[in-house]
Amino acid sequence: MPFKADLEMGEHYQRKVLELIEYDDCGMSKGCYKPYDLWIVYDGEKTTFEVKADRKTQITGNMVIEFECNGASSGITSSIADYWIYFIHNTGIYFLIPSSEIRRLIAEKVYTRIIKGGDGLRSSMYVFPMSVFDEWKDTYVVVPVHK
């Protein structure tokens, strides 16, 4: 899928987060901002989020967590987000996972393998069975976007 379509899909899911989470104030990062995608303030406390949407998880049953792109740290290794919100595209399923838990699972080598992916296979990602994250799973009413 072209970069512009990926960007639009990412922004759609960032807005979806704001529909699912209660907050007093919020903001979205612009462009290629590595620390996090979105922040909210609720009851005086700021929380940051990395927002991901995956088109293949519903087919493969796997979730991927990027850690490197073009030889540089990215994804989980460059993010300082408090949580990762991982949407399974067009299903109404999402996972709200503490970043510390993802890092713990990586350290314990719970992932099944490492793959290359993304544009031109420039990214390296850990592959986890979706079931690893079941305790952080939730749902919403889905309105399909982008095929």
CATH number at residue 106: 3.40.1350.10
Assess if residue 146 is contained within a domain: no
- Does 62 or 1 have the greater pLDDT score? 62
Q: Look at the block and give the residue holding tokens 């903001």.
A: 27
Per-residue tokens: 83:
């949580």
Is the pLDDT at 17 greater than 70, yes or no? Answer: yes
Token pair, residue 67, equals: 């850690």
Assess if residue 142 is contained within a domain.
no
Q: Is the pLDDT of residue 51 over 60?
A: yes
Residue 34, domain member (yes or no): yes
3-state SS assignment for residue 79? coil
The parent domain of residue 98 ranges over 3-136
> Which distant-in-sequence residues (6+ apart) come within 8 Å of 132 by Cβ?
63, 105, 110
pLDDT at position 90 is: 87
> How confident is the model over 33-49, as pLDDT tens digits?
789 999 999 999 999 99
Question: For residue 82, is it within any domain?
Answer: yes
Based on the structure, what is the number of domains in the chain? 1
Average per-residue pLDDT in the chain? 91
43 occurs within a structural domain: yes
Instruction: Specify the residue for token string 């609720």.
Output: 42
50/14 Cα distance (integer angstroms): 9
Contact between 79 and 66 under an 8 Å Cβ cutoff? The reply is no
Task: Classify burial at 33, counting beta carbons within 10 Å of its beta carbon; exposed 0-12, middle 13-18, buried 19 or more.
Answer: exposed
Q: For a pLDDT cut of 70, what percent of the chain falls above it?
A: 93
Highest mean pLDDT among 1-5, 27-31, 91-95 belongs to: 91-95
Contact 66, 76 (CB under 8 A): yes
Is position 144 within any domain?
no
Is residue 23 one of the residues assigned to a domain?
A: yes
